[in-house]
Structure 1
């Protein structure tokens, strides 16, 4: 005997007539699938926005990645800072110069670098360094850089890279005063502005130091309040 039944999700799917023993199982699968989609569930084989894109992967970078990071940073600065940073600076800095700096930083241990990929495409870079001696008032960890491909802004890569780079540890960083997008992002993730400002030597832009306390300690304090 055959029967047809309408799925109770908002899409109102009609289940094709199947034998009784199989219909209930199919309806259950449909309800589960649509409930997940309505809740924002994204299968692993899909990208962060639900599109069919390669899965995101995060790993530590090595010296062999220096060229790719140099090219990526050059593109990221062009995408994010054109109009904020003087054209003379953007046009006068080559990807190869940046690649050499990244090679030196990683080879010497000055920077710990995380990179995000979708397939073979580099989409984001985050790096940290240790605060120089003589600043006991600052956290020991500095977030030295965080860049994401502009077409992937708002799709979850920056928070993932931030988590890999510093976790819940206290940290500090410099943010251009003109970069309001970055300021909103860091404020959302627990950073607050300090009174310390300086002029960046390369771009001649004013930047402010932002500092984040230990989030896990803050959470425990609130929980015990």
Structure 2
């Protein structure tokens, strides 16, 4: 794992989060959704999306990963949900492409799992595009089990989504060394 700081995000971090989100979409979903959809993503719209997320209902929260020079290299977002099977949703987890496979995603996932546990949410789920083999592999490696399926649309293209879930978030909490 690389050396970095993980901390709760604030509104001041949203521009950096927007950059990771847009850049992450453009590298992760190239070839999986229409090119014009990806080309139409903007930092400004993403910044507004994440500001709105932080100020929404359902107790939303975000954590960021920061490497040297205060550069945000990844983030994770979560919220409580009203679902009979799960109490929380891992809403998003994005990393810059060059930071994948270094343990950053695991550290961010652990931070959000600890947050869920602290607020009394013991089970969580995440939706993943089925064509996103990297994402599916990551959540499977974290012990996620497939629970549901749905269809989503991006730029006029329908894609299949898979919901992975964890009935006990404590299994995701990495102990500090």
SS at match of 2:109: helix
Of stretches 98-107 and 156-165 in structure 1, the one that deviates more from structure 2 is 98-107
Maintained 8 Å contact 1:84/1:178: yes
Structural RMSD (CA): 1.9
* Runs of 5+ consecutive residues of structure 1 not aligned to the other structure: 1-46, 49-54, 218-225
Whose relative contact order is higher, 1 or 2, with alpha carbons under 8 Å and at least 6 apart?
A: 2
Structure 1 residues 96 and 191: CA distance shift in structure 2, 3 A: same
Give every structure 1 segment of 4 or more consecutive aligned residues whose post-TM-superposition deviation is greater than 3 Å. none
Maintained 8 Å contact 1:71/1:96: no
Maintained 8 Å contact 2:126/2:164: yes
Q: 1:188 aligns with which of 128, 141, 152?
A: 141
Structure 1 residues 99 and 216: CA distance shift in structure 2, 3 A: closer
- 2:76 maps to 126
Question: Are 1:112 and 2:112 matched, yes or no?
Answer: no
Maintained 8 Å contact 2:16/2:71: no
Count of matched residue positions in the alignment of Structure 1 and Structure 2: 161
Q: 2:32 aligns with which of 55, 79, 84?
A: 84
Normalization by structure 2: what TM-score?
0.83
Shift of 1:216: 4.7
SS at match of 2:26: helix
Maintained 8 Å contact 2:26/2:38: yes
Q: How does 1:69-218 map to 2 (within 5 A)?
A: 69-108=17-56, 110=58, 111-119=60-68, 120-131=70-81, 133=82, 135-136=83-84, 138-167=85-114, 169-194=122-147, 196-203=148-155, 204-214=158-168, 216=170
- 1:11 maps to none
Identify, as 1 or 2, the structure richer in strand.
2
Cα distance in 2, alignment partners of residues 182 and 113 from structure 1:
19
Residue by residue over 1:166-196, the C-alpha shift from the partner in whole angstroms, topping out at 9 and shown as x without a partner, is 14742101011101111111111121112x2
User: Which structure is larger by alpha-carbon Rg, 1 or 2?
Assistant: 1
Cα distance in 2, alignment partners of residues 116 and 65 from structure 1:
11
Normalization by structure 1: what TM-score?
0.66
Shift of 1:107: 2.5
